[in-house]
Amino acid sequence: MSHAAISDVLAGKHQVDQQITLKGWVRTVRSNPNFAFINLHDGSCFDPIQIVADNKLSNYAEVCKLTTSCSLSVTGKLVESLGKGQSFEIQAESIEIIGLVEDPDTYPMAPKRHSVEYLREHAHLRPRTNMIGAVTRVRNCLAQAIHRYFHENGFQWIATPIITASDCEGAGEMFRVSTLDMVNPPLKEDGKVDFAEDFFGKEAFLTVSGQLNVETYACALSKVYTFGPTFRAENSNTSRHLAEFWMVEPELAFADLADVASCAENMLKYVFKAVLAERMDDLEFFDLRIQKGLIERLKTLSEQEFVRMDYTDAIEILKNCGQKFEFPVEWGIDLSSEHERYLAEKHVGGPVILQNYPKDIKAFYMRLNDDNKTVAAMDVLAPGIGEIIGGSQREDRLDVLDERMIEVGLSPNDYYWYRDLRRYGSVPHGGFGLGFERLVAYVTGMQNVRDVIPFPRTPKSATF
Ligand code: 4AD
């Protein structure tokens, strides 16, 4: 028998006074000898719906004993609710108990506030909480909005590989993929592991970014993007780092740094508007429980122009601002989170697009500026979290690219296919990477990216 979604019922999409069937899980139950009131949720929206059962039900005694997370199928009449704060309720005609909770006293998700740390230890059960349910719907809304933004703006979605041989960021933070026996690996004459014997006939890794691959499609289809999981064996135990995270990476041909920055700004504003339009129920929860003023902030962000600033100017601002930083500021440093947050939160009071970084702290593929010291890179820094986007105009001149590769110790021969893009009809092009979990954390106000991805992967942690 088909059943309705609670979100549709609460949104008034079903006829009042008609019979309806709902399926879901119990959030709470109150009962007296005559009536039981069950809050039932099915994950389709933040609010549960109230089910009113009277003692004429044949299984009324069992219904009164229901506990949190028991699963039910309820059939009854949809009526307008007289109760405060709810629009509709169901007058139950029958309640089928599908699954009971074995031992309610030891059920780990008892209805009380749990710490985020406790919930992480129960990652298989935490989707049942209000908080993770809300995060999940917002995450989905953002992902759908991202695809929609690109679709409406003429981008093609490209599936870039998860297994790769190239270290896009050159930071040596790749997880190896191998079928070799690592206890007794085949060795070369020099004593090193012989990866020619490995599955792919060479060393292979999980990708840190789909960028190099997606560039090949940008140089044929003009506007493309990839959106998938990426992996970094980076030993960063922070609230902003995951070993496995999702990245959105658009790439535009016939584009310079300013075009890339505009694309980032427009996409972010589009998704902020989408979440405000579609998930106000969840945002109200985050505003109340996690971060006061969140909704107002999102509204402002979706309208406010993002400030553009040169790295060199930012260094001057940080040096002269009078604030003591843990990491000293001088031209050439890789900005740390405290610097990024000062710029976004204190100096600008909104998102900043920081541009033209020193080449020595950036990847080999970024276009060298005429000063020979900086590259056409840009990061979007957001208040509260710091960097959420990193991007650049790519080096489209073969000779300059080769020089840069050699400078950073890469062998141009290994990247022959990447170099071919510069040999055959090279065009100015560029793109960026948006850390999807950082975006979800930013939009929900959640303090740690581990709580906005279903099963976080971090150093020393890969249960579930
Ligand atoms: O700045 P990154 O390293 O840039 C790239 O990977 C480029 N190839 C992207 C491109 O131009 N197509 O990473 C991009 C974004 C960062 O701004 C950050 O939001 C996120 O990815 N990120 C992480 N998110 C979670 N955990 C980590 N360990 C992350 N490392 C980067």
pLDDT of 406-432, one tens digit each?
999 999 999 999 999 999 999 999 999
3-state SS class at 383? coil
**Whether the Cβ atoms of residue 87 and residue 10 lie closer than 8 Å to each other:** yes
Cα separation, 200 vs 197, whole angstroms? 8
Cα separation, 101 vs 122, whole angstroms? 16
* The dihedral sign for the CA sequence 158, 266, 286, 71: negative
Cα separation, 4 vs 456, whole angstroms? 32
Ligand 1 centroid to Cα of residue 73, in Å, is 44
**Whether the Cβ atoms of residue 277 and residue 324 lie closer than 8 Å to each other:** no
Q: Is 168 in the pocket of ligand 1 (CB under 6 A)?
A: yes
Ligand 1 centroid to Cα of residue 389, in Å, is 7
Q: Is 438 in the pocket of ligand 1 (CB under 6 A)?
A: yes
Residue whose CA is at the smallest distance from ligand 1 atom 1:
390
Site to probe by mutation for ligand 1, drawn from 242, 245, 354, 429 as the one with most ligand atoms within 8 Å of Cβ, is 245
DSSP state letter for 193: B
Cα separation, 209 vs 206, whole angstroms? 9
Site to probe by mutation for ligand 1, drawn from 207, 217, 244, 438 as the one with most ligand atoms within 8 Å of Cβ, is 438
Ligand 1 centroid to Cα of residue 390, in Å, is 6
Residue 6 confidence (pLDDT): 98
Cα separation, 63 vs 162, whole angstroms? 49
CA nearest to 307, candidates 343, 257, 270, 358 = 343
Those residues whose C-beta lies under 8 Å from the C-beta of residue 350, and which sit 6 or more positions away, are: 300, 301, 304, 306, 307, 344, 383
Ligand 1 centroid to Cα of residue 102, in Å, is 43
Question: Tokens 């007794």 sit at which residue?
Answer: 184
Burial class (CB in 10 A: 0-12, 13-18, 19+), 307: middle
Decide if the complex's ipTM is over 0.85: yes
Residue 1 confidence (pLDDT): 53
Residue 86 confidence (pLDDT): 78
Residue whose CA is at the smallest distance from ligand 1 atom 9:
433
**Whether the Cβ atoms of residue 360 and residue 332 lie closer than 8 Å to each other:** yes
pTM: 0.96
**Which residue numbers in the chain have pLDDT < 50?**
none
Q: Is 232 in the pocket of ligand 1 (CB under 6 A)?
A: yes
For ligand 1, what atom is nearest to the CA of residue 208?
6
Residue 30 confidence (pLDDT): 96
